[in-house]
Structure formats: C-alpha cells, structure tokens
C-alpha cells in the first residue's frame, strides 16, 4: 500500500475527476465479476491504511459531508447533551431532499478545532461506519466508494491500489 498523504476535498475531487472514466469502467467490471476475495483484499487495505493514517490529521468527512442520522442517534445525542430529542432536532437537524435527518450545517457542529469529535462515544452510526471500506459484500457499494474518493484520502488510495489488482 502506498503511503497515504492528507489531501483536501478540493484536491481529491480534482484527482478523482482525472481518472473518473477509467475508474468507472473498472468498477463496473468488478461489480459484474464479484470476485470472492474482494472483501478480504479491501478489508486488509482498510486495516493497514487506518493503522497508518490518523483521521485527526484529516476530518474531511466531518467538515464536508456529515452523517445521515437515525432517530436512535438523535435520542442518544440528546441524552448526552441533556436536552430533549425535539430540542436537539430544532437546534441541529434539518431534513434533506431524500427525507433524511442531517446536520443543518457543515462542518459538523460537534467537530472541535483540533479535529476531535465532542460526542465521539455517542457519535451517529453513520460516523462509526464511514468510509465503509470494511463493509461485507463490498461489491455492493462500489459507486458510493467512488464518490467517497472525493472526500476521503484513505478511500482514494484504496481504490487506486485495487485498480492495480488483476481480478
């Protein structure tokens, strides 16, 4: 695995655009093929990458995309902040065009200046799961992963390395 360097979302978007066509072709083939060893390969890359790269040097996801929240997230966060779920919704949440609960603004209201998360132990499920490169049946989320190349330097590198494998 190549050494992962921090890149801004603007830089990642440019880099993703540069290879968008070839990556699309590769991912379409991969989705069709569903290689049996794909999960093992990508999960190993994920573990190696996050053992080396510190999200505290990045926080692009918290700064630019933010999670979709389920009601359990809202209940848990409201309890942690000692307010009612309805107050939490009024203060922090809007409903987006897909009818999902999301934070009103970016960066996330709980992102601290040193990139720590104020509610880390109680953070939404989607924050725990991002960037999904350790998910089972990885072939099901290839398009989402391509999109996440624009935000996450780890995902960008994983896709770059996966493209070099002869499946």
Binding site for ligand SF4 (CB under 6 A): 53, 55, 58-62, 66-67, 108, 110-111, 117, 119, 123-124, 127, 130-131, 151-154
Cite the beta strand spans of the chain per DSSP E: 68-69, 93-95, 101-103
For the CB of residue 142, give the shortest distance to ligand SF4 in the complex, in Å: 17
**SS3 for 52?**
helix
Q: How far is the CB of 152 from ligand SF4 (least distance, A)?
A: 3
Q: Smallest gap, in angstroms, from Cβ of residue 158 to ligand SF4? A: 10
Backbone angles phi, psi at 111, to 5 degrees: -80, 125
Nearer to ligand SF4, 56 or 95 (CB): 56
Pick between residue 116 and residue 167 the one whose CB is nearest to ligand SF4.
116
CB of 74 to ligand SF4, least distance (A): 12
Q: How far apart are CA 157 and CA 154, in angstroms?
A: 5
Closer residue to ligand SF4 in complex, CB, 27/59 = 59
| CA 62/CA 115 separation, integer angstroms | 9
Length of the chain: 167
Nearer to ligand SF4, 23 or 153 (CB): 153
Closest approach, Cβ 30 to ligand SF4, in A, equals 21
HEC string for 76-122: HHHHHCCCCHHHHHHHHEEECCCCCEEECCCCCCCECCCCCECCHHH
State which residue, 42 or 108, has the beta carbon closest to ligand SF4: 108
Residues forming beta bridges with residue 101, ordered by sequence position: 69, 95
């Amino acid at each position: 695995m190549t050494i992962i360097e921090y890149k801004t979302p603007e830089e990642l978007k440019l880099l993703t655009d540069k290879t968008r066509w070839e990556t699309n072709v590769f991912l379409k083939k991969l989705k069709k093929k569903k290689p049996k060893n794909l999960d093992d390969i990508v999960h190993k890359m994920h573990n190696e990458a996050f053992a080396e790269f510190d999200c505290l040097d990045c926080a692009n996801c918290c700064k630019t995309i933010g999670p979709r929240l389920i009601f359990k997230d809202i209940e848990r966060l409201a309890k942690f902040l000692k307010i009612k779920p309805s107050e939490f919704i009024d203060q922090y949440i809007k409903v987006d065009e897909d009818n999902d609960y999301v934070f009103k603004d970016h960066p996330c209201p709980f992102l601290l200046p040193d990139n720590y998360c104020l509610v880390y132990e109680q953070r939404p499920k989607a924050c725990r799961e991002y960037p999904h490169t350790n998910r089972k049946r990885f072939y099901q989320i290839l398009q989402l992963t391509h999109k996440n190349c624009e935000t996450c330097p780890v995902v960008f590198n994983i896709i770059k390395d996966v493209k070099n494998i002869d499946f």
